[in-house]
A = this chain, B = another copy of it.
Amino acid sequence: MDTTQSALSNQIKHLIEQNSIAELMRLLREAHPADIADAVDMLEEEERLRVFSLLDDQTAGEVLDETEPEATTALIKGLDSERTADILDEMPPDDAAEILADLPKKQAEELIGLMEVEEAADVQELLQYPENSAGRLMTEEFISVRAGMTASRVIEMLRELAPKAETAYYLYVTEPDGHLVGVLSLRDLIVADPDARISDTMDRKVVSVGVDTDQEEVARVVSKYDFLAIPVVDGKEKLVGIITVDDIIDVIEEEASEDIYALGGTTEHPEAVHTPIPSAMRRMPWLLITVIGEIFTARVIKGYELTLQEMFALVLFIPVIMATGGNVGTQSLATTVRSIALGEQAGRSVWQVIRREAAIGVMLGVTIGLFTAAIAVKWIGTPALGLVIGISMTLTLTFSAVLGVLIPILFKALGRDPALASGPFITTLNDITSVTIYFLLAIRLIHLFPA
């Protein structure tokens, strides 16, 4: 669907078939690593390894950082361990750590053992922070300066250092012990009088995050303040690394994907080429939950001793009530999960949030309840059935709306991912309750039904 990407992978395939290695090398040299990565995702095992044999370690690292997880794993399996270690040496430590964290422990240890001592130490330091923490995302390649330096001196220093592009947009001002005291941007530096001291130009109100801060929280801060990078400090407020905005974008996309899959009732990451079996396995648990939950629904239906005649009219509206209740539940769930993710619940009490959702549920319940009751009366001609359906719909929708907001908030309060309160979970819970409400009401009002 993106023509450039498939064009590049087709060109690569063609040149490999033709054995035009010189031309392939030129093509790879001219292409952006991110484009090579997209093309690699679409190649066969053999072709991928061929491409990697032609890339220098630096470019190979940039490509490896951008390939889909499935391709990355396959490539590392296919490449010689020595070569992989050389590639990892060239990668920023945070990206290398990310790849190593996804490998089996033994393989990761072997590769770290083959890396250069200094690079290996950097990576191991990052790996000691928990997954999804700021410590894991940060790079230690930041630029720190002293408050007493002049602007021109810092410019001179930068010219000597020739730092990597991604990490050079903010200069962090630290005390000799590493304590973070200020920040200035590269733009501030250039615009400043060359003889001015950094202490005159810097912003002393530096927003930073701790090494243990969750990546979602880091993303919220960067997104809120429109930062290009954010400093990471240890427990003693010493600067230990920075997180750049490109990593933040990855976090935002990853967290949104997680929420979307959870709502849909799966945990899968859609990978470019893999076989359907792992996907099916990942979807299975949610379906089993649904089947078992709905068997309970069936037991509820069976449990009410109604005559078959009475049952028949009721049964027709089971799908209507179940599906509508399910919908209201997932509407409320989607809104709540997203609002937690964007940090929009801030400052509102749990009761305010729940009360609001209950009010929406009542409004929807009464309206849709009247509508459905009218259809029932017109179609089946039993006013009492209309009454049962109308009241059931109102109660079910109110209950579902509250459930959809309550469960993710409860999960969050218990320190679990609110998205675990997934679509299937909420829907199944709703189905059991709505059918129970429906039949309980029917039993109470059954004497009004015509024989």
Contacts and interface: CB of A to CB of B under 8 A. Distances in A.
Contacts of A223: 246, 249-250, 253
Contacts of A187: 158, 163, 165, 168-169, 186
Given A226-B166, A264-B331, A423-B423, A159 B345 contact: no
A297 B320 CA distance: 8
A224 interface: yes
Interface stretch (A18-26, A81-89, A117-125, A310-318): A310-318
23 contacts: A5-B347, A9-B347, A38-B347, A68-B344, A169-B169, A186-B186, A228-B245, A249-B249, A253-B256, A253-B342, A256-B259, A260-B338, A268-B335, A270-B344, A276-B360, A290-B323, A291-B372, A293-B323, A297-B319, A298-B319, A301-B316, A323-B431, A327-B427
A111 B414 CA distance: 48
A286 to B, nearest CB: 6
Nearest to A435: B319
A258 B359 CA distance: 23
Interface string A99-128: 000000000000000000000000000000
A348 B41 CA distance: 11
A440 interface: no
Contact of A265 (B41, B318, B330, B336): B330
Nearest to A345: B1
B320 A295 contact: yes
Given A228-B169, A294-B323, A320-B298, A159 B334 contact: no
A16 interface: no
A286 B368 CA distance: 11
Contacts of A334: 260-261, 263-266
Contacts of A257: 338, 342
Interface in A178-215: 185-188, 190-191, 205, 207
Stoichiometry (number of copies)? 2
A375 interface: yes
Given A266-B335, A347-B5, A356-B276, A319 B316 contact: no
A335 B264 contact: yes
Contacts of A288: 368, 371
Give the most central of A207, A315, A371: most B CB within 10 Å. Answer: A315
Interface string A11-46: 000000000000000000000101000100110000
B252 A190 contact: no
Interface string A337-356: 11100111111100000001
Given A42-B347, A280-B359, A284-B367, 16 more contacts: A6-B346, A32-B225, A186-B190, A223-B249, A226-B246, A252-B253, A259-B260, A263-B264, A264-B423, A268-B335, A270-B339, A280-B363, A298-B320, A308-B308, A318-B319, A323-B427
A335 to B, nearest CB: 5
A2 interface: yes
Contact of A364 (B191, B283, B301): B283
